[in-house]
Structure 1
Amino acid sequence: MCADTPEYKDTLNLPVTDFPMRAGLPKREPGWLEHWNKIGIYDRLREKGKAEGREPFVLHDGPPYANGHLHIGHALNKILKDMIVRSHQMMGHDARYVPGWDCHGLPIEWKIEEQYRKKGRDKDEVDVVDFRQECRKFAEGWIDIQREEFKRLGITGNWADPYLTMNFHAEAVIAEEFMKFLMNGTLYQGSKPVMWSAVEKTALAEAEIEYHDHKSHTIWVPFSFANAEGDLAEARVVIWTTTPWTIPSNKAVAYNDKIAYGLYRVDATEEESWTKPGDLYLFADALAEDALGKSRVTEFTRVRDVEASEFAGLILKHPFHGVDDAEGYWDYDVPMIDGDHVTDDAGTGFVHTAPSHGADDYEAFVKRNWIDRMTHNVGEESEFLPHVPFFAGLQVFDRKGKEGKANNAVISKLVEAGGIIARGRVTHSYPHSWRSKAPVIFRNTPQWFASVDREVGDGQDEMGTTIRARALNSIDKLVKWWPQAGRNRLYSMIEARPDWVLSRQRAWGVPLTCFVKKGALPTDADFLLRDDAVNARISAAFEAEGADAWYKQGAKELFIGDAANPEDYEQVFDVLDVWFDSGSTHSFVLRDREDGTEDGIADVYLEGTDQHRGWFHSSLLQACGTKGRAPYKNVVTHGFTLDEKGMKMSKSLGNTIVPEQVVKQYGADVLRLWVAQADYMVDQRIGPEILKGVADSYRRLRNTMRFMLGNLAGFDESERVDVADMPELERWVLHRLAELDHQVREGYKTFDFQGVFSAVFNFATVDLSSFYFDIRKDALYCDGADSLNRRAARTVLDILFHRLTTWLAPVLTFTMEDVWLERFPGEDSSVHLIDFPDTPADWLDEPLAAKWAGIRQTRRVVTAALEIQRRDKVIGASLEAAPVVHVRDAEVLDALKSVNFADVSITSQVVLTNDPLPAEAFRLPEVEGVGVVFEKASGEKCQRCWKILPDVDKHDHAGTCGRCDSALG
């Protein structure tokens, strides 16, 4: 080539864009937040929905608790919700999202009490309204903090007007919803064992419980018979328990008629034993040897079989029966009762039954109508009450959750009374409060319940006449579950659940707005004051001044008015379980707000899998009690977030990932991308290495978008090419877009974000970057501006741009805005105001797709063959090659000949032949019937496009091929 050959670089149509390769997300994302705030994007979308008459789509937000910075679970949850809302908006809905907060309850109250304790103040000496105001201020502070943290993640929503369970209207509606239970007959006061926190001094719901290993005392306690005859008269029934403190409340001993029992005689013991030779004991046969061994019995004899039927009607004596100084407190009959809950898996085959301290025990007494035999021996601080001999004032657990003196005192008294034959310790799973982390007890207290099996007298019987029936029918007939396993889990919970404990003995919450008649029993018809006018006065006062109105001087007289004599009634001061608050949100958010729904039913509830026993559960029960059906159409469940090794995150392990740290290091979009790539319906993992991989995926996708922007610079509508006039390669891309359009829309409709992103990402990086863009770079850079190939390619790039930016906008909220504004700048411009473009059905072309599948397979063989030559330094670039491609399949060969396969394979020349594959031909095992023989391209290198062709330097422009010469004009 001549030394004076012109420099043609400036004549190329090289990409032009200011879109940076490095995203700089941590610094740049706040700018887009400001842009969205400035243009009022959420309100503009609502106006658009109203103007176009769009069908509403409402995802109802399960309220996070307003008491701390966000953790990674919050981020996962809110990003998933945001992707649902954004995608449905862009699919043509008016997708509304009202964020909310749970504001009442023990955690906030606990924080204020901690502040008091540090100052040496006693909460009980503070005016209750003043105390509640401090709780309100605490919640308000954290709401403001969390709101900004959520917004930083790119979450769209009505942040200016969220719902708060402590807003006056919300408190009024929560009270109204409670009063519906009062009026429809499902509310009752009962005395039954509930899980009780001595630390927090309140009843707890199952959703407030977590299970941890706990070391408990174990004791084997013998009960003597009071009325047995024959050899049983001298025998004793042995029970085993891990809660010695419940022995003073024992009221029965249970057995199971399906268990094999035996009478056992002690023949010899170790030197120290609480048994002696000749003692007779009754055990389940499967457990006798172990129990006797624990009692230090070295030899024993099984005297005979004992049929369970022999226990029917027998009465036992309490282990403290007749003890001195007890004034006959335990000198009552202890019946033997049969129960299916008794097993011979552990213990003795007999179960100590204290109906005030166990669920099975309680049910056994309810079954027999023995509720009047319940004990009230333990107070709110887990202390024995003053009337209990020997143990008054002793606690099971102290205010710090540590073991008190009660267990050891009971064991010592049993030893003294000859009422124990063995003791030990066992580590087992035990219920703890998830707030204080302290172990709880089962304690019998008067509480308020919503019955799940009473007839609901509200006339809404379409789904059933009880809350349980309505809930089960809703689960099966009205709701779709994502994943389906969620249906099974909640169904089994509802099927087996007891009545709902509504009351909490605290101050910060919505009170149980009811009055009880003095001197009346809970079973009396007039026990509760039921009056519509009273309810209306309460509701109006709460609407005007919040639930604090309940605690003001003269509230009882004001609310009861002339409906009854206020002196005849007592005002209830328990507060509602916070799950009732959040379970009622469908009423004051979905039903009452302008941006709610006409029927008060949400399209979607989405929360973590723990909410099957939490918000999904309470919302279902509450709505079935007041409106007769579930308040949701779809329930989507996500798993928990673990570290990279699959371990639960813990500050003590140092493996926590905080959203704020990820945002500072990578930007919110990388965190959002992690969510999109995860199979969120099961537990997912996150950590430094995983985030590095996500960031790499982000960079690859960003480069794809940058390529499109660069090659669309100056694109004008006059360049656009009709689909019918496009080359096959462009029509193949449109075919792929038509396939993807269906896949993307279906994926977003079914909340399959992993499927959506995977499909789009693979298309962008494999079909586009590694194939289409790779091929079309030559035409885009080197063809003349008016060439069909270049115009068609830019037309397709424009089509791709509009689809990829909108399809990915629900996931990469910030980045797609960046891409969009790079091309369409403007104060009012935003990709989030755009819908997914409609994709013509006639873009689908299955025959063309099949043809190009064969072409791509052949290209793979050529590319692999050339890579070997490049590796071996035979060539430096694929344009130096002119491979001979042997193709056995005539149809594929015809397809290759019908296109410019040299361009497709990015070689300067190519020879296509159906000659038999030579032995030296390169093959890929997975591509049958294709072989490639390497040959170098012949001719000179075009100084503009770098192709090696025979006609180079034979045109007007020195050193060019015919195509480039023509482009230069």
Structure 2
Amino acid sequence: MRWGLRPRGPGATALASARSFWGPPRLPCRLGWLGATRRLLVRSVTGASNQLTNPNSGKYRDTVLLPQTNFPMKLLGRQQPDMELEIQQKCGFSELYSWQKERKTKTEFCLHDGPPYANGDPHVGHALNKILKDIANRYHMMRGSKIHFVPGWDCHGLPIEIKVLSELGGKAQNLSAMEIREKARSFAKAAIEKQKSAFIRWGIMADWDNCYYTFDRNYEAKQLRIFYQMYDKGLVYRSYKPVFWSPSSRTALAEAELEYNPEHVSRSIYVKFPLLKPPPKLASLISDSSPVSFLVWTTQPWTIPANQAICYMPESKYAVVKCSTSGDLYILAADKVSSVASTLETTFEVISTFSGADLKNGTCSHPLIPDKVSPLLPATHVTMAKGTGLVHTAPAHGMEDYSVASQHNLPMDCLVDEGGIFIAEAGPELHKKAVLEEGTDVVIKLLKNSKNLLKEEKLIHSYPYDWRTKKPVVIRASKQWFINITDLKTTAKELLKTVKFIPGATLNAMVDMMDRRPYWCISRQRVWGVPIPVFHHKTKDEYLINSQTIEHIIKLVEQHGSDIWWTLPPEQLLPKQVLSQVGGPDALEYMPGQDILDIWFDSGTSWSYVLPGTNQRADLYLEGKDQLGGWFQSSLLTSVAARKKVPFKSVVVHGFTLGEKGEKMSKSLGNVIDPDIVINGGQDQSKEPPYGADVLRWWVAESNVFTEVTIGPSALNAARDDINKLRNTLRFLLGNVAGFNPKTDSVPVNQMYVIDQYMLHLLQDLASKVCVN
């Protein structure tokens, strides 16, 4: 019954009195706050046709108003996805973005899309991210803003190149650089089309006609311009340094391209470095009659051949101890005497203790190369957390080791090639052996033969792996291109104070990651990417890059794309005025370099190509927490380097998707959730029913996205139940406004009943709270 009906019969006087209190008199059949004047409709109650006819039936028919709608309470089986497709097509979903862009509004909201990688099928991680972005965009659109959202794809790099080569098998070895690039481009394009179709099916509102792609020639040209701006400011340089190196991919990797395997097994060893020249302050303490050795622990035995020094902590106490088993004298940190003795299954008698500073100017013999001297050097990176308090130092295979070597002018020779194989200089026993496999075996065997190995044991610990090949990496010195982020960190951290991070703690996490990064290696030894636009001298360690060469290359790239680096002869890659200065076309002294830019530099410069206006600052970046050390950081650093600005006003960071029990998804566990199967159902639809895109979107909307987000049958069924409850509510509302005409039936707010005005007030109050929070 409608409370808007004119009162009749008993109690009418009381009801009329109440009405006079709650609001002005109303015409009969006025529908609450909507106030629709309309004919009363009667609908039969289910089963009424089987009842006996009552002569009084129908007496109150004209006084009953029941909902009337064709909107179903539930959509079963294929009805849900089929109805969604029909609505998308009939209602012009594809035109929604262009429609809202044409509106006359005072504000614009820009969400910059972090480009997903174009190397596979769409997955639930994509769904979580894209739907979250769509929710943010639609919220701001409903608030009256014009939305700027240009989707993009990360199209270059190692993962795509490796996939292409692995599919080709043995044929890949005979491919030219251009053949690899063409196949990689085709592969990326196919992946983009799959992902784009899925994103559109999920209901994502975006500028699908003007997507950005990092392999687009105009994008590449813009990227090269940013590179040169940074080079011209002295922020880009070439140097010989240790970097993370993937033997399986044969290229340098950035920190963001690593995955840490917590179950990696290393062969850790305790090694003796015989004392050669006692430190002057300890000469009287150490007699010539009793040989003394320094004890060192390492988890990377293969680096011992490259040892150049032993580092100690000057502020710590060290001890000379006597081993009860062998009678040998050892030097190690005083705090580590007990734990090391226990590990070696012996006892140590402490002969004397002294300050680490007293080790100054002492030297040791190399445990594998008797005539080689390893000096004792102070260092700040030595800790007492593990090992012996003395650190084996191989400058070609450690970041801190390199720093020590730079201070003390130590050799930094690398004995390992691009494939992780010992080179000839490592010695005949090690030559051509893989450092992480047989090479480690041989090093340990050689240490045993020289009687300098005290113990070997297996250690399970977290170790960096190549994010694509899933194989362990090494640290290896090589000539690479770097960005000097030391000069950028201070400015970047200051500018981050103007950015709103959600959750707030992610700001500190991002700053911590940036602080731990000593430098950013931006060169890769592959072919599928944007070339580093530098020419190298054929015989000297010199390179050529200037404003003339870069402008010439940028023009060529704008016209033909970055393929020109591999298709044009060197003399055409140089401008005429420069060519004449470097030997001319017939005696050219320089050749194009073979390195390409890191894909994080690729995607990190997207702000310069995509963001609108002169300020080029997005209202929002929204990505997973892995991007705190990835795209968020590369975007920040390139923007600060090029123009001393941050590219975002706000950053929202969401968690990862996990299986229903909180476990990582994997094919072997059988818990991988495919968004396409969620929407359309699987082969056995009794086990994998078609939920439709609305359920997938609801799962995202109701999840706490700031932690890990679980998904599985229970979560999807719960989301479907919620959708059905929502449908039931909408069905009731639609049934009650059937035939309602806003032009003739609406009631001005000031003419509504007080209780109706109060309901609207509560609704607006709720909306305000939601918008504020």
Shorter-chain TM range is 0.7 to 0.9
Partner of 1:162 in structure 2?
A: 211
Match of 2:126 among 74, 90, 93: 74
Q: Which residue of 1 aligns with 2:378?
A: 338
With 232-241 and 283-292 compared, the bigger mean Cα shift is at 283-292
Q: 1:38 to 1:287 in 2, by over 3 A?
A: closer
3-state DSSP of counterpart to 1:356:
helix
Q: Does 1:733 align with 2:759?
A: yes
DSSP-derived class of the 1:562 partner? helix
- Deviation track 1:851-882 (CA, whole Å, cap 9, x = no partner) reads xxxxxxxxxxxxxxxxxxxxxxxxxxxxxxxx
The residue aligned with 1:390 is 428
Residue number in structure 2 paired with 1:782: none
CA distance in 2, matches of 1:240, 1:504: 32
Deviations, residues 651-683 of structure 1 (Å, cap 9, x unaligned): 222222221122122111111111111121222
Q: Give the equivalent residue in structure 1 for 2:602.
A: 581
Match of 1:354 among 394, 398, 407: 394
SS of equivalent residue, structure 2 residue 320: strand
8 Å contact from structure 1 (residues 58, 597) kept in 2: no
Matched, 1:602 2:618: yes
- Whole-angstrom CA distance in 1 between matches of 2:252 and 2:323: 45
Instruction: Indicate how the Cα distance of structure 1 residues 424 and 390 shifts in structure 2: closer, same or farther if over 3 A, else same.
Output: farther
Q: Go from structure 1 to structure 2 and tell me whether the alpha carbon gap of 1:369 and 1:283 turns closer, same or farther (over 3 Å shift).
A: closer
Counterpart in the other structure of 1:5: 56
Give the equivalent residue in structure 2 for 1:177.
226
Q: For 1:385-784, what aligned pairs fall within 5 Å after superposition?
A: 385-396=423-434, 403-453=436-486, 466-476=487-497, 478-517=498-537, 527-563=542-578, 564-565=581-582, 567-590=588-611, 596-664=612-680, 665-716=690-741, 717-747=743-773
- CA drift at 1:520: 5.2
Give the Å deviation of 1:500: 0.9
Q: Please point out which of 92, 100, 110 is paired with 2:162.
A: 110
SS at match of 2:482: strand
Measured in 2, the distance between the counterparts of 1:707 and 1:369 equals 80
Q: 1:555 to 1:20 in 2, by over 3 A?
A: farther
Pair 1:722–1:159, CA change in 2 (3 A): closer
Match of 1:30 among 56, 60, 85: 85
SS at match of 2:161: helix
Q: CA RMSD in A?
A: 2.0
How far 1:257 moved relative to its partner? 2.4
Residue 321 of structure 1 and its aligned partner are, at CA, apart by: 2.8
Amino acid at match of 2:405: F
- Secondary structure of the residue that 1:132 maps to in structure 2? helix
* Number of the residue aligned with 1:308: 356
CA distance, structure 2, for counterparts of residue 710 and residue 38 of structure 1: 25
Residue 355 of structure 2 aligns with an amino acid whose one-letter code is: E
Equivalent runs, 1:831-910 vs 2, <5 Å: none
Residue from 316, 321, 327 that aligns with 2:369? 321
Distance in 2 of aligned mates of 1:216 and 1:115: 31
Q: What letter matches 2:711 in structure 1?
A: I
Distance 1:300 1:724, change over 3 A: closer
Task: Considering Cα pairs closer than 8 Å and 6+ residues apart, tell me whether 1 or 2 has the greater RCO.
Answer: 2
- Indicate if the aligned counterparts of 1:259 and 1:343 stay in contact, CA closer than 8 A: no
Relative to 1, partners in 2 of residues 1:556 and 1:745: Cα closer, same or farther, differing over 3 Å?
farther
- Structure 1 unaligned blocks of 5 or more: 270-275, 323-330, 398-402, 454-465, 522-526, 591-595, 748-969
- Residues in 2 aligned to 1:625 and 1:433: alpha-carbon distance in whole angstroms: 28
CA distance change for structure 1 residues 319 and 619 in 2, over 3 Å: closer, same or farther?
same
Query: CA–CA distance in 2 between the matches of 1:557 and 1:720?
Result: 73
1:324-369 CA distances to partner (integer Å, 9 max, x unpaired)? xxxxxxx332111112222222211111011111122122223x15
Q: What TM-score do you get using the length of structure 2 for normalisation?
A: 0.86
Are 1:222 and 1:419, in contact at CA under 8 Å, matched by a contact in 2?
yes
State the AA in 2 paired with 1:571. Answer: P
Q: What is the total number of aligned residue pairs between the two structures?
A: 694
Q: Is the 8 A contact 2:313 2:356 kept in 1?
A: yes
Amino acid at match of 2:511: Y
SS state of the match for residue 444, structure 1?
Answer: strand
C-alpha change, 1:14 and 1:562, in structure 2 (3 Å) is same
Per the alignment, do residues 451 and 137 of structure 1 end up closer, same or farther by CA in structure 2, a change over 3 Å counting? same
158 and 395 in structure 1: CA distance in 2 versus 1, 3 angstrom threshold = farther
SS of corresponding position for 1:547: coil
Match of 2:426, SS? coil
**Structure 1 Cα separation of the partners of residues 138 and 304 of structure 2:** 59
Partner residue, 1:193: 242
Would you say the 8 A contact 1:209–1:434 is kept in 2? Answer: yes
1:669–1:395 Cα change, 3 Å? farther
Is the alpha carbon distance of 1:39 and 1:542 closer, same or farther for their aligned partners in structure 2, counting shifts above 3 Å?
closer
Amino acid at match of 2:338: E
- Once the two structures are aligned, what percentage of the paired residues are identical? 37
Q: Whole-Å Cα distance in 2 between the matches of residues 38 and 493 of structure 1? A: 41
**Counterpart secondary structure, 1:336:** strand
CA contact (8 A) 1:63 1:102 kept: yes
Instruction: Give me the whole-angstrom Cα distance separating, in 2, the residues matched to 1:259 and 1:628.
Output: 42
Deviation at 1:720, TM superposition (A): 2.8
The answer for the alignment partner of 1:203 in structure 2 is 252
* One-letter code aligned to 2:165: E
Task: Say if 1:479 and 1:635, in contact at 8 Å, map to a contact too.
Answer: yes
In structure 2, distance between residues paired with 1:300 and 1:6: 105
- In the other structure, the counterpart of 1:761 is none
**1:35, CA displacement in angstroms?**
3.0
- Asked whether the equivalents of residues 183 and 530 of structure 1 are also in contact (C-alpha less than 8 Å), the reply is no
- 1:727 Cα deviation from its structure 2 partner: 2.7
Aligned pairs for 1:93-242 within 5 A: 93-117=145-169, 120-123=170-173, 125-212=174-261, 213-228=263-278, 229-232=283-286, 233=288, 234-242=291-299
Offset from partner CA, 1:926-947 (integer Å, 9 cap, x none): xxxxxxxxxxxxxxxxxxxxxx
Note closer, same or farther for the CA distance 1:391–1:70 as it changes in structure 2 (3 Å cut). farther
Letter in structure 1 aligned against 2:697: R
C-alpha displacement of 1:186: 1.1
- TM-score, reference length from structure 1: 0.69
The one-letter amino acid paired with 1:82 is D
Shift of 1:199: 0.5
Aligned to 1:923: none
Q: What amino acid is the match of 1:711?
A: N
Counterpart secondary structure, 1:226 = strand
1:306 Cα shift?
2.9
User: Offset of 1:504 from its aligned partner?
Assistant: 0.4
Contact 1:259 1:344 (C-alpha < 8 Å) held by counterparts: no
In structure 2, do the counterparts of structure 1 residues 500 and 654 end up closer, same or farther at CA, with 3 Å as the change threshold?
Answer: same
